[in-house]
Structure 1
């Protein structure tokens, strides 16, 4: 009976002594999985003109396979190095958010038609260019989509075209946009001048030949 008790005790001691070594070996063999860093790659923000109003069309794409991001709110941060403006974009759903927001300083009526533009003010019955009302956003800016993570995206004020001009009526930009985008009107003058020269040269050649024939 005593011998059996001693055998059991010996087995218990051996197991107890071997357990730490086994646990240590297991811990040494264990390699923790590496988390993938969340990213906003593929997100965009583009300046567009609609009914002469400047808009920012955005598409936010969050890739977060390990669900490390704790916020689902997206915003767009504009800066020129001195001034900064933060524009709330909304809430991501399943890592996606798309839509558009008015450019800072712009305004529209109920029909979506432009009634205000950044860097302009209506004074004494006419539109005048000013330094305020987010005028700096029409220059060189840096745009960052922020969710945490964040990503820098290219963004610039929408240029004027014959179809849409995100500037007040009568402004220099509006006047330059009067020319067709194809440039055909601008080319009519030179083409007409060349045509007239060809006709004139043909007429002179005809008269010279006719004069020579008479001789």
Structure 2
């Protein structure tokens, strides 16, 4: 009986196996790097085409339909009305622009109405107590205060989103409404230093007249009572004639007395 020997599988030497594994690993690294460095496939991504007949909405707009400086009860106001499109906003912010300091901001206002001019002060009943551009020192109104920049004109910014900036003039005084202290010039304050005695004060409106009384700041000039009447020309003439008659009588008495002594 013959014996058969089983042939063992032939294996490569260990150093050859290690070399092949290293080459395979290096090849894998090169392939992965090439994939990472490859530029992405270009694709044209643009806006979706608009449907036929579509038009983009117009940008928001703001129009000032009313812009009027007014005087009401000797108090300066700015009357306004804002018309906007393309926005859901329901309030407006008004900013008075101070070119050399802090602005005056009035936010959350209705789309129409009127606002007090910066620097003007009113009392509980709406009576005027102070005017921009003037300050009360004792009994005298003196030109110049922290709000003199709002006159004779000032830039005003209306903001709703969008916004608009306009230049408005301080409302002038009139025979029926004064936007300056009592006794001050009817127009805007002059550029030079100016002082105006308050009504009833020494040198002020009504001062030195019978029945005149001092006035509170912001009140109308006080006039004398109706019981006082000015001296007329007829009264002056009568007084002069009476004095002349008395002088003539006195002269006659002196002459008669001298004759009797003689």
Q: TM-score range by the shorter chain?
A: 0.5 to 0.7
Q: Which residue of 2 aligns with 1:72?
A: 90
Larger Rg: 2
1:87 to 95, 103, 106: 106
Whether the aligned pair in 1 keeps the contact of 2:66 and 2:81 (CA below 8 Å) is: yes
- TM-superposed CA distance for 1:87, in Å, is 2.2
Counterpart of 1:172 (choices 168, 172, 185) is: 185
* Structure 2 match to 1:61: 83
CA distance in structure 1 between the aligned counterparts of 2:150 and 2:133, rounded to whole angstroms: 9
Give me the TM-score of the superposition, normalised by structure 2.
0.48
* Mapping of residues 1-215 of structure 1, within 5 Å: 27-28=48-49, 30=51, 33-64=55-86, 69=87, 71-83=89-101, 84-88=103-107, 90-91=109-110, 97-132=111-146, 134-173=147-186
Q: Is the 8 A contact 1:53 1:106 kept in 2?
A: yes
- Cα deviation 1:72-119 (Å, max 9, x = unaligned): 33111222533432223514xxxxx21111111101122222111111
State TM-score, norm by structure 1. 0.57
Q: Does the C-alpha gap of structure 1 residues 104 and 42 become closer, same or farther in structure 2, counting only changes over 3 Å?
A: closer
Deviation at 1:155, TM superposition (A): 1.5
Partner of 1:55, secondary structure, is: strand
More helix, by proportion: 1
Question: RMSD between aligned alpha carbons?
Answer: 2.7
**Matches of 1:29 and 1:52, distance apart in 2:** 59
- Aligned residue pair count: 141
CA apart distance, 1:46 = 1.8
The runs of 5 or more residues in structure 2 that have no matched partner are 1-44, 190-262
